[in-house]
Structure 1
């Protein structure tokens, strides 16, 4: 399917794209869903110390309220990409909105950290289904302008990054951490009504069955590796602990069976050709590393500010806001310039700036207040993210334009996998460290090194310029 042969906004057939006024309305509605999911990636970070205190949960287990959300998205994004092709984008988007809203309501009334983790996993199913279905809806209705419309998704997540930490800090300081979930309920109800009335329907495009066997294997892989790392963070647990070794051994076995299954299955939920080669294989590795450095530890920046510099929760949450502001300042320009710059140059400059921001956060403040120094450092890292994300979002899409939903899901899966690894390792280190703040500082430095180490891979990224 070429960019001009996009489905009609009324019938799902390959005629013309939706008219401009209709496109704006469609974009606004799907952006609302993405905004909700984006807010919940950062809003919990500000409230994490309060959740830990009220529910009497150790830090390595309270951190699961963040990692389980990422895990749910990892599993759901590729599945949602497939089922949105199979059953229609609008249906999947609506189900995502209902699940996300209902789970948010339940999270607001959780009585212990383990129940909260389970409910966050359910919430992540809805949150993870938003991006692939929204990507498909926009791609179906925006015609030749779809690359710029999809690039503008880059701005939605930073806006959520601005609202999330502030809202989390406000709710925690003046009411309760439970408000960070309950606020989703009225927004979700409005979204459901608007989506029912205004989102265009699309015809099914893929009649193959969903590969739940592959989903289960990937779930076992991520879950067992997370459990092992979390258990390692409990007390004086040794690397030779039978529980830790059993969990990691199960993860290795799951990797072997997952790869074998993906190669042999006629319609795997992650097509094997989208995971290897100079194009997809390199971009998947880049997204994994980016997710670890930018998304994973970024979610714990407020905790770092509180542990190392004893900054209050409301102020600590605004550090993520500073990062989001930095992203927004350059993301729109990066999107507009993408056809001229190609993909490699913005990724190169963006990764270097992101690494510089991480190094600055690691370093001691040079004669200014820690809060101001961390704010500046977070803003710098946000600028790097704003340059990088539009290019990484579109680099894989150009390799297979007819599989935008599946590729969007795969991209999100690798980024969230990196975030899971990052958060799991960081919280385990914190739990075992006598100086949590200093331990997190060294982790920041390690992630800066990781971003620099990724740079040679950019030479293998297919570079697209001009009109797509």
Structure 2
């Protein structure tokens, strides 16, 4: 499970370092080069809840192995892509496999770790920051000493080993739910996610107006799809996303918290290196290592937070963690005096990482313990809301920066806004059902 999650985490960050090489060698327009990242995020947003549901219907192991095969095959094909348009299509296919890893893996761990599953699931928290550290480094090495296809081809031997290990060692899992696949619900959710996220991403280009016909049409279609999806979930006898997981007791507030967390904590990760370059004129290589400082801070705290989770419950670490994350974000707004900007930003990034490492294990488990029999579906929804929040915040921030006369100062105000969002979420945590002990 850890190998699969690590591989998916690395692939979220590894491509960013190779974008200039991809653009140059494939003679690609800059907007289509960026879509190699955007389409991967969109694919994951859509696939996470779908994978969570179908793993309940067809068995966790089957979905997990199928995801590994698809991810590995798509990675191989990406390495041999000859134009940017084909690469974008293959990245979308790769995202389907990568997005299915987390829900299926969560279900497998929950099924097989018994009373220790809360701690096992919490330890997943430390895998993604490690992938965030390794991804940019590996991407830079492959781009500098080989070529951009290496960032995809490196997944192939790892994926083959992963498939062999999964087939050999993962225990067989039986379907937990019967019935036909809810294709109508999947289609409505797909239309909702793709149109809304595409419209917001389209808005992120600097010369796009809020009154743009493309933006308004996309968001209008998304609103209609949302209404139809809600009606479908209420009326269908076996919807692929049960309505109680969207707005039921505890679930509604956790989905909103996850959306805000994705916007503030995950969205800021994509902006920090650019902020360091634009406002403090820090070199790009040093600016990228600020994310390493954040990841180290998260890793140092995550394991301790997991071990203490049964004593603290969910609310306390979430409250303290979100508050610390907000402090780290707000500190980046301040112009340091007497300290080099790089050192100050590294400290602030590490502080925000500490807050993330403290809060994420608790927030991961807070909704899972409400319905332990549906852990895969819940994990898929959690990932969808977080990724959607990140895409929204990055697209809106990009639009603001593109329209600003001082990009560095604009980003400083965005970081301060993110800190305010983390503070604004704190009262919602009082509505989260608390839980102590194993579940």
**TM-score, with normalisation over the residues of structure 1?**
0.88
C-alpha deviations, 1:421-444, integer Å up to 9, x for none?
122223333444444443333222
Map of 1:264 onto structure 2:
235
Q: CA deviation at 1:178?
A: 3.3
Asked if 1:276 corresponds to 2:276, the answer is no
Report the alpha carbon displacement of residue 58 of structure 1 after superposing the two structures with TM: 6.3
Do 1:298 and 1:320's aligned partners in 2 also have CA atoms closer than 8 Å?
yes
Corresponding residue for 1:447?
Answer: 418
Structure-1 separation of matches of 2:38 and 2:127:
21
- Once the two structures are TM-superposed, the CA of residue 152 in structure 1 deviates from its matched residue by 1.0
Q: Which residue does 1:427 correspond to in 2?
A: 398
**Alpha-carbon distance between aligned partners in 2 of 1:228 and 1:77, rounded to the nearest angstrom:** 20
Structure 2 counterpart of 1:355 = 326
Distance 1:453 1:117 in 2: 37
Take 2:30 and 2:434, find their aligned partners in 1: how far apart are those partners? 43
Matched, 1:458 2:400: no
Deviation, 1:129, is: 0.8
Measured in 2, the distance between the counterparts of 1:96 and 1:336 equals 30
Local SS of the residue matching 1:399: coil
Cα separation, 2, equivalents of 1:369 and 1:173: 29
Write the distance in 2 (CA, Å) between the matches of 1:255 and 1:271: 15
Matches within 5 A, 1:14-413: 30-51=1-22, 61-234=32-205, 236-413=207-384
Confirm or deny: 8 A CA contact 2:203 2:396 kept in the other structure: no
Residue 362 of structure 1 deviates from its aligned partner by 2.9
Match of 1:17 in 2: none
Structure-1 separation of matches of 2:153 and 2:402: 29
Distance 1:443 1:463 in 2: 32
- CA shift for structure 1 position 99: 1.0
C-alpha distance in 2 between matches for 1:453 and 1:57:
41
Cα distance, 1:162–1:358 mapped onto 2, change above 3 Å: same
Deviations 1:376-428 (A, max 9, x none): 22211110110011100110111111111111111111111111212222333
Contact 2:185–2:239 under 8 Å retained in 1: yes
How far apart, CA to CA, are the structure 2 residues paired with 1:323 and 1:305?
Answer: 14
Alpha-carbon offset, residue 101 of structure 1: 1.2
Write out per-residue CA displacement over residues 297-336 of structure 1, whole angstroms, 9 at most, x where no aligned residue: 3134333334444444433332222111111101010011
Q: Distance in 2 between matches of 1:431 and 1:112?
A: 28
Query: What residue ranges of structure 1 are gaps of 5+ in the alignment?
Result: 1-29
Q: Is 2:280–2:341's contact at 8 Å kept on the other side of the alignment? A: yes
Task: Give the paired residue count.
Answer: 439
Work out the CA distance in 2 between the residues paired with 1:208 and 1:147: 29
Kindly state the Cα deviation for residue 110 of structure 1 after the two structures are TM-superposed.
3.6
Q: Is the 8 A contact 1:173 1:314 kept in 2?
A: no
| Distance in 2 separating the partners of 1:307 and 1:249 | 35
Residue of structure 2 equivalent to 1:21: none
| CA RMSD after TM alignment | 2.2
1:222 Cα deviation after fit: 2.3
1:169 Cα deviation after fit: 3.0
Contact 1:60 1:424 survives alignment (8 Å)? no
SS of the residue aligned with 2:14?
A: helix
Pick which of 81-90 and 144-153 moved more.
81-90
Give the distance between the partners of 1:173 and 1:434, measured in 2 at CA.
33
Once residues 404 and 147 of structure 2 are traced to their aligned partners in structure 1, the CA distance between those partners, rounded to angstroms, is 29
